[in-house]
Amino acid sequence: MSLIVQKFGGTSVGSIERIEQVADKVASFRADGHDVVVVVSAMAGETNRLIDLAHQIQPRPVPREMDVLVSTGEQVTTALLSMALAKRGQKAKSYNGSQVRILTDSAHTKARIREIDDARLRADLEKGYVLVVAGFQGVDEHGNITTLGRGGSDTTAVALAAALKADECQIYTDVDGVYTTDPRVVDGARRLSQITFEEMLEMASMGSKVLQIRAVEFAGKYHVPLRVLHSFQDGPGTLITVEDSAMETPTIAGIAFNRDEAKLTIEGVPDMPGVAYRILGPVGEANIEVDVIVQNVSHDNTTDFTFTVSRGDLPRAEDVLNAVAKEINAEKVSSDAKIAKVSVVGVGMRSHAGVASQMFRALAEEGINIQMITTSEIKISVIIEEKFLELAVRALHSSFGLDKEPEAENLD
């Protein structure tokens, strides 16, 4: 018998029918002898309905009251799921963030969890209750309701799993696991039975939007085994774990990509200390998020500085950069919205040489020019012309043998 924390998102609890299905699933885990804590989001559409009400009053509603408002969405789901479990003869009890006590800081609408009081939860688990906890919310030290920001229910689930030392934290979604790449782009894309936290982080931030990055970080930090599963299809999903050296780790876990990128270059920048800050400072102040940043070695005391932003932010970023260029006496600003990012991700590349050269060769063989390169310990990303994106992803997926099941994984 083990303790399992399960998280169901808004779509999975989007109607009474679906809530009943979730109750069936939870009950089947109970029947197998497991203790279960269920974390739920608001029913799909509910959070937007509430936000819309607030926006009819104010474009920027008071953050404290925004949290009071939207936190009701999850509370409704906890009550309904508890009823559906009771209907199945399961002892169940709902908890909101304040009742658990999920203590957070006071940063309304984007609070961070400080501490979880697990005393009441443990006592109720011992009495045989299924605990149904409202995701996404907590309470600050003054008793004010806080929320963790959108998608924060994943974080709630992982934090509860960590506090309760659960055997597994299961995140139910509309996909049946994490794939080697997007199946809509590559026919041979394959579900991974396992992936490391670090790989998952790199995959998630690249647009494989299965899990909240924060939740993955949290799970990695507290060594909570995390499993991504499909809400309404059976299957083992993908287990996200700490790197297991005994495991025959495949070199590359997957190919990630992001189409929503635009590139800005500021050329002929005088190469002096602090110049990177003088360029990126104003960009950050304008609330523009920067993804890839590349600065190469300088020639003649000037350098070129390139970074990418979301396409929607490109016009604003250009305005900011043109002003900056004047101030720092840079030569010119250029931009390109027709680019995309492709990355190979894998903890295996730490110990395997040649991943980069294999990647660049595969792209070259398809005649794809590389505009920018950045690397991290477990990821190599290239910026290419957008029209080559699908071609690049397929070439890399095949080159790294991702369409074939690795032998070690067949054992599980």
Q: What sign results for the dihedral spanned by CA atoms 174, 179, 185, 188?
A: negative
Nearer to its own copies, 20 or 217 (CB): 20
| Whole-number Å distance between alpha carbons of 255 and 346 | 9
Distances (CA, A) of 394 to 278, 340, 343, 386: 39, 14, 12, 14
Q: What is the CA radius of gyration of the chain?
A: 24
> Where do the H-state alpha helices sit in 172-228?
197-205, 213-221
Shortest spacing between CB 82 and its own copies, in angstroms: 4
- 102 or 211, CB closer to its own copies? 102
Which residue bears the tokens 């029947």? 31
The secondary structure element, H or E, covering residue 317 is helix 314-327
Q: How far is the CB of 117 from its own copies (least distance, A)?
A: 11
Least distance (Å) from its own copies to the CB of residue 16? 4
Q: Which secondary structure element, helix H or strand E, spans residue 16, and what is its range?
A: helix 16-31
CB of 67 to its own copies, least distance (A): 8
Q: How far apart are the first and last CA of the chain?
A: 20
Q: Are 178 and 190 in contact (CB under 8 A)?
A: no
Q: What one-character DSSP code corresponds to residue 148? A: -
Q: Which tokens belong to 158?
A: 């992982």
How many residues make up the chain in this entry?
Answer: 412
Distance between CA atoms of residues 103 and 106, nearest Å: 9
Q: Which is nearer to its own copies, 106 or 322 (CB)?
A: 106
CB closer to its own copies, 143 vs 274:
143
User: Interface residues with its own copies (CB under 8 A)?
Assistant: 16, 19-20, 50, 53-54, 56-58, 61-62, 64-66, 68-69, 71-72, 75-76, 78-80, 82-84, 86-87, 93-94, 96, 98-99, 120, 143-145
Q: Tokens representing 65?
A: 């009251």
For its own copies, which is the closer residue by CB, 36 or 392?
36
Identity of the residue, 46 or 313, whose beta carbon is nearer to its own copies in the bound complex: 46
Q: How far is the CB of 66 from its own copies (least distance, A)?
A: 7
Residue 249: which of 179, 353, 357, 347 has the closest Cα? 347
| Closest distance to its own copies from the beta carbon of 81 (Å) | 9
Cβ proximity to its own copies, 39 vs 171, nearer residue: 39
Least gap, CB of 144 to its own copies (angstroms): 8
CB proximity list for 276: less than 8 A, separation 6 or greater:
295, 305
In the complex with its own copies, which residue's Cβ is closer, 117 or 319? Answer: 117
Minimum separation from the CB atom of position 100 to its own copies (A): 10
